[in-house]
Amino acid sequence: MRPDTPTHCPYCSLQCGMNLRPSSSGGVEVMERPEFPVNRGALCGKGRTAASLLDPGVRLSSPLVRRGGSLVAASWDEALDRVAEGLGRARAGHGADACGVFGGGGLTNEKAYGLGKFARVVLGTSQIDYNGRFCMSSAAAGQLAAFGLDRGLPFPLEDIPRTGCVVLVGSNLAETMPPAVRYLRELRENGGSLVVVDPRLTRTAELADLHLAPRPGTDLALALGMLHVVVTEGRVDQSFVRERTRGWEEARAGVMAHWPEYVERVTGVPVPQLREAVRLFCEPEAAMVLTARGPEQQSKGTDTVGAWINLCLATGRAGRPLSGYGCLTGQGNGQGGREHGQKADQLPGYRKLTDPAARAHVAGVWGVDPDSLPGPGRSAYELLDALGRDVRALLVMGSNPVVSAPRAAHVEERLRSVDFLAVADVVLSETAALADVVLPVTQWAEETGTVTSLEGRVLLRRAAVSPPPGVRSDLEVMHELARRLGVEEGFSVDPEVVFEELRRASAGGAADYSGISYPRLVEEGGVFWPCPEEGHSGTPRLFLERFATGDGRARFADVSHRAAAEETDDSFPLYLTTGRVVSQYQSGAQTRRVGELNAAAPGPFVEMHPRLAARVGVVEGEPVVVVSRRGRAVAPARITSGIRPDTVFMPFHWAGAGRANNLTNPALDPTSGMPEFKVCAVRVEAA
Residue 191: which residues within 8 A CB-CB, separation 6 or more? none
What is the pLDDT confidence band of residue 127, given thresholds at 50, 70 and 90? very high
- Per-residue confidence at 23, pLDDT binned at 50, 70, 90? confident
Say how far apart CA 446 and CA 263 lie, in whole Å: 52
What is the CATH number assigned to the segment(s) 5-54?
2.20.25.90
Integer Cα distance of 196 and 170 in angstroms: 8
The closest alpha carbon to 471, from 112, 71, 63, 111, belongs to: 63
Name the amino acid, one letter, at 131.
N
Work out the average pLDDT over 143-164. 97
Averaged pLDDT, 390-395: 98
Assign 292 to helix, strand or coil.
coil
SS3 189: helix
- The percentage of the chain sitting over the pLDDT mark of 90, rounded to a whole number, equals 97
Distances (CA, A) of 593 to 112, 178, 316, 554, 581: 25, 21, 47, 46, 16
Query: Residue 213 — pLDDT band, cuts 50, 70, 90?
Result: very high
Give yes or no for a contact between 228 and 258, defined as CB atoms under 8 angstroms apart.
yes
| Contacts for 570 with CB less than 8 Å, ≥ 6 apart | none
Other Cβ atoms closer than 10 A to 410: 18
C-alpha to C-alpha distance for 413 and 630, rounded to whole angstroms: 13
Q: Residues of 16-44 as b/e, b for ≥16 C-beta within 10 angstroms?
A: bbbbbbbeeeebbebbbbeebebbeebbb
The answer to whether 64-132+334-528 and 574-686 have equal CATH topology is no
CA distances from 320 to 167, 286, 383, 528 (A): 17, 8, 40, 18
Question: What is the distance between the alpha carbons of residues 357 and 372, in angstroms, rounded to a whole number?
Answer: 14
Closest CA to 503 of 487, 518, 516: 516
CA–CA distance, 264 with 259 (Å, rounded to integer): 9
Indicate the pLDDT class of residue 19, thresholds 50, 70 and 90: very high
Examine the pLDDT at 26 and tell me if it is beyond 90.
no
- Cis bond upstream, residue 530 (ω within 30): yes
Angle between helices 248-255 and 219-232 (to 10 degrees): 110
pLDDT band at residue 466 under the 50/70/90 scheme: very high
- At 411-422, the pLDDT tens digits run 999 999 999 999
Mean pLDDT of the region 390-410: 98
Grouping H, G, I as helix, E, B as strand and the rest as coil, residue 266 is helix
pLDDT tier for residue 27 given thresholds of 50, 70 and 90: confident
The C-alpha atoms of residue 129 and residue 474 are separated, in whole angstroms, by 17
In tens, the pLDDT along 225-277 reads 999 999 999 999 999 999 999 999 999 999 999 999 999 999 999 999 999 99
Residue 666 is which amino acid? P
267-326: pLDDT as tens digits? 999 999 999 999 999 999 999 999 999 999 999 999 999 999 999 999 999 999 999 999
Average pLDDT over residues 532-554: 97
Angle at 468 between CA 462 and CA 470, to 5 degrees: 125
Residue 464 has pLDDT above 90, yes or no: yes
Nearest to 490 by CA among 86, 113, 108: 113
Complete DSSP assignment for 74-114: --HHHHHHHHHHHHHHHHHHH-GGGEEEEE-TTS-HHHHHH
- How confident is the model over 196-207, as pLDDT tens digits? 999 999 999 999
Are 654 and 606 a contacting pair, CB within 8 Å?
no
Rounded Cα distance between 267 and 223, Å, is 10
**Which fold would CATH assign to domain 64-132+334-528?**
Rossmann fold (3.40.50)
Q: What is the pLDDT of residues 337-374, one digit of tens each?
A: 889 999 999 999 999 999 999 999 999 999 999 999 99
645 DSSP 8-state letter: T
Q: DSSP letter at 409?
A: H
**pLDDT at residue 25, rounded to an integer:** 78
- Domain ranges (residues) in the chain: 5-54, 64-132+334-528, 137-328, 574-686
Q: Give the mean pLDDT of 483-491.
A: 97
Class level of CATH domain 574-686: mainly beta
Sequence length of the chain is: 687
**What integer is the mean pLDDT of 71-90?**
98
pLDDT of the residue at 330: 84
What CATH number should be reported for the domain whose range is 137-328?
A: 3.40.228.10
| Full-model pTM | 0.97
Cα gap 174→204, rounded to integer Å: 5
Give the Å distances, CA to CA, from 61 to 26, 57, 83, 470: 17, 9, 18, 5
Look at residue 1 in the predicted model and tell me its pLDDT. 45
Indicate the residue type of 274. L
Q: What is the mean pLDDT of residues 433-459?
A: 97
CA distances 507 to 335, 515, 520, Å, are 17, 9, 17
Q: 3-state DSSP call for residue 142?
A: helix
Write down the mean pLDDT value for the chain: 97
Reference 35, options 8, 11, 17; nearest CA is 17
CA 415 to chain centroid, in Å, comes to 22
Average pLDDT over residues 572-599: 96
**Which of 36-40, 57-61, 219-223, 406-410 has the weakest average pLDDT?**
57-61
At residue 43, the 3 state secondary structure works out as coil
